[in-house]
Amino acid sequence: MSNVEIVCNKLSKSFSGKSIFKNLDLKISAKESLTVTGRNGTGKSTLVKVLAGLILQSKGSILINENNLALQKEKWFAKTGLLSPYFNLYDELTGFENLDFFYKLKSNGKEKSGNEEKVNSLLNEVNLFDKKNEQVKNYSSGMKQRLKLAFAVINKPDILFMDEPRSNLDKYGIEIMNRIALDHKERGILIIATNDEEDKQLCDKSLNIEDYK
């Protein structure tokens, strides 16, 4: 089990003077899970981006602690995985090439024995093994979402962010997503931005972003 926790203090974010959320306090530790809810356009994805370190907060602080020591921001990405609709993987590469590239990058570019098995096993987990040598541009939107799911957990992250994880998934895809989320919850922090009732049931806590306006 990981010993990672996220601690936010008086977190606020605004764009061009318009407040998205303010004074948000949050503490979440390993084996805890949280859904971020709120109507469309109220700032769920913005909060996920801020927590994941993709954009800076306007005020307040975020710490990611490991064994009670704050991690340097450069180390955050090594601890996190993200599934979200606002990024893509490389269309011109195959599913295997994409995961292999990102797995090696996340391992600091080192060629490790067992890379190929790890990537193949992950492709199998998201039911894309048969299509692993096809370019991603030929994938359906559901297949692309499953590939992004594999990308999110490729480094066995301590913190997994899922923003609208059901997007484009059919019921089999949702089963895979649920299985991966529940598996992650056993050892790390799970944060899901969603309004879906079934997603909410995956998590122990809930935060309505509209309460921080």
Residues that bind other proteins (CB under 8 A): 52, 54-56, 74, 77, 80, 82, 84, 86-93, 97, 101-102, 104-106, 108-110, 135, 151
Tell me the closest approach of the beta carbon of residue 144 to other proteins, in angstroms.
Answer: 12
- The Cα–Cα gap between 155 and 185 comes to 15
Question: In sequence order, what are the residues at sequence separation of 6 or more whose Cβ sits closer than 8 angstroms to the Cβ of residue 121?
Answer: none
DSSP state of 158: S
Question: In sequence order, what are the residues at sequence separation of 6 or more whose Cβ sits closer than 8 angstroms to the Cβ of residue 53?
Answer: 62, 73, 76, 77, 80
Tell me the closest approach of the beta carbon of residue 81 to other proteins, in angstroms.
Answer: 8
Tell me the closest approach of the beta carbon of residue 5 to other proteins, in angstroms.
Answer: 20
Tell me the closest approach of the beta carbon of residue 204 to other proteins, in angstroms.
Answer: 25
Closer to other proteins by CB, 13 or 212: give it. Answer: 13
Closer to other proteins by CB, 28 or 147: give it. Answer: 147
Residue 150 backbone phi and psi in degrees, to 5: -65, -40
Helix (H, G, I), strand (E, B) or coil at 204: coil
- The Cα–Cα gap between 146 and 151 comes to 9
Tell me the closest approach of the beta carbon of residue 153 to other proteins, in angstroms.
Answer: 12
Question: In sequence order, what are the residues at sequence separation of 6 or more whose Cβ sits closer than 8 angstroms to the Cβ of residue 163?
Answer: 44, 45, 48, 82, 83, 84, 85, 86, 192, 193, 194
Tell me the closest approach of the beta carbon of residue 200 to other proteins, in angstroms.
Answer: 25
Closer to other proteins by CB, 86 or 172: give it. Answer: 86
Closer to other proteins by CB, 62 or 212: give it. Answer: 62
DSSP state of 33: E
The residues facing 48 across adjacent strands are none
Closer to other proteins by CB, 76 or 129: give it. Answer: 76
The residues facing 26 across adjacent strands are 8
DSSP state of 10: E
Closer to other proteins by CB, 144 or 185: give it. Answer: 144
